[in-house]
Amino acid sequence: MVTIPEEVLQRTLNREELLQKAKEVGELAEKHALQADEDAQLPDIVAEKIKEAGFQKLHRPKEYGGQELDFHTFGDIIRTVANYNVSAAWITYFAIIHDTWPAFLPKEGRDEIYKSDALLADVFAPMGKVTDDPDGEGYRISGHWNFCSGVLWSDWIALGAIHKMRDGSEPELGLYIVHKKDVEIVKNWDPIGLRGTGSHGVKVDDIYVPAKYVFQVKRVVEGATSPEGNYDKDYQLFNVPYLIYFFSGFQHVLLGGLERLVNDFEEKTKRRVRVYNNNANEKDNSSAQRTLGEFKMKLNALKAVAKEHMDKLEYYQENGIRVLEEEESEEIFAMRGHIARIASQTATQILVTLGGNSIYKSEHSERFVRDIIAVACHPTHLYDDSMVAYGKTILGFDGHPMW
């Protein structure tokens, strides 16, 4: 069992209240899970519950309604929702992190987006084509992006593209922020898992984006904070490597879902009777006992890795570290990849071990397994990529070009 120092948790003054709200979001989403799976989206009342809880504001700068939220509690919020519904945890996680990139915009754009009090969505993949607008200031963007999680409930959408900024020396990755009214939603979300996220594609055609609505990802990765120098130097996310923070919630989505599966395996093992094995009680079977112990230990080990990840973020914040040496960055990539690989393998093993009665849709085990597999497919923690990148940097080579 991993233990978080009390002095860290005390920084989040309303920790128990936030975790209770997370539980309520998860319970509501679980009530609608079967229908959400059928519809390929959560009902609007779940998104409204997330917004009502105020999760999207938690990691904003304080002047825009944010607060000091320790990174462990951030992870626990996501994991708590995932205990009940993985899709809802995904949307909760994205609602929090997507509301942080306006902090890195010029003040006028930052003020306008935060004032709108809307949920935000993004797609980092650089699929867009950008040109300079003739006005000499803004840009025009066109393209088609898939996997736009949260788009159904968001007003602002940040879309990835590589382009040479007016004040830049070479093409660089940026997110170009557009309003949903200018976006065509492409209803193409029909995946194996995470169905409730409604992560449809989006298209834009030659839409104008003012410079104040461009999140300069490459510069932030290299240590930039807010343009113009008028920012709160104590803001949490100006004092950590931004992408390390941004990707840190995926592991908690995975762990919350896996934790539910392990606990369900324990309860089902206690009640299970093997009709083809002389009606033996499964709990008396040494193989089942050993398997349960293995599942518990795998879960505990993954929680320890996830805790180390968040411990690192706490350390970076305390020491104002915004840029990492490449080997350390790739080590954290490998931590994410390790959790994704073991969580998806363990989830699948749980379902196969439980047998035929657990493959019905009315039995939520199969849905949690599908969701965990879908989470593990995200490019920010693909196992092979992460381990190759980490191994390369240990040996003195360059790591992954993005993560």
Transcribe 17-76 into DSSP letters. HHHHHHHHHHHHHHHTHHHHHHHTS--HHHHHHHHHHTGGGTTS-GGGT-----HHHHHH
Same domain, 382 and 250: yes
Mean local confidence (pLDDT), 219-244: 90
Alpha helix stretches (DSSP H) within 320-382: 326-354, 365-376
pLDDT for 275 beyond 90:
no
The answer to whether residues 63 and 114 touch, using CB atoms and an 8 Å cutoff, is no
pLDDT digits (tens, 9 = 90+) for 353-379: 998 888 998 889 999 999 999 999 999
Is 237 inside any structural domain?
no
pLDDT value of position 305: 98
Percent share of the chain, pLDDT over 70: 100
Mean local confidence (pLDDT), 110-134: 96
Same domain, 250 and 388: yes
What is the C-alpha to C-alpha distance for residues 350 and 372, in angstroms, rounded to an integer?
Answer: 12
3-class SS of residue 188 = coil
Is 402 inside any structural domain?
no
**Band (9; pLDDT cuts 50, 70, 90):** confident
pLDDT value of position 230: 67
Same domain, 134 and 201: yes
pLDDT value of position 101: 95
Residue with tokens 């960055």: 329
Residue 324: count other Cβ atoms within 10 Å of its Cβ: 17
pLDDT value of position 2: 72
pLDDT for 1 beyond 80:
no
Is 383 inside any structural domain?
yes
pLDDT for 229 beyond 80:
no
Same domain, 265 and 358: yes
pLDDT for 216 beyond 80:
yes
Same domain, 95 and 128: no
Top pLDDT among 140 and 279 is at 140
- Which residue type does 280 have? A
Same domain, 248 and 164: no
Mean local confidence (pLDDT), 263-288: 90
Domains in the chain: how many in total? 3
Nearest 5°: phi and psi at 375?
A: -60, -40
Counting other chains too, the contacts that 184-187 makes at CB distance below 8 Å and 24 or more residues apart are: 185/148, 185/151, 185/152, 186/144, 186/146
Same domain, 196 and 323: no
User: Which residue range is the domain that position 206 belongs to?
Assistant: 120-224
Residue among 171, 136, 142 nearest 159 (CA) = 142
Same domain, 71 and 145: no
- Which range has the worst mean pLDDT, 133-137, 275-279, 291-295? 275-279
Is 401 inside any structural domain?
no
Mean local confidence (pLDDT), 165-191: 97
Same domain, 246 and 381: yes
DSSP state of 326: H
Same domain, 50 and 125: no
What is the C-alpha to C-alpha distance for residues 161 and 272, in angstroms, rounded to an integer?
Answer: 53
Same domain, 376 and 272: yes
Same domain, 248 and 371: yes
Mean model confidence pLDDT for the chain = 95
Q: Give me the CATH number covering residue 149.
A: 2.40.110.10
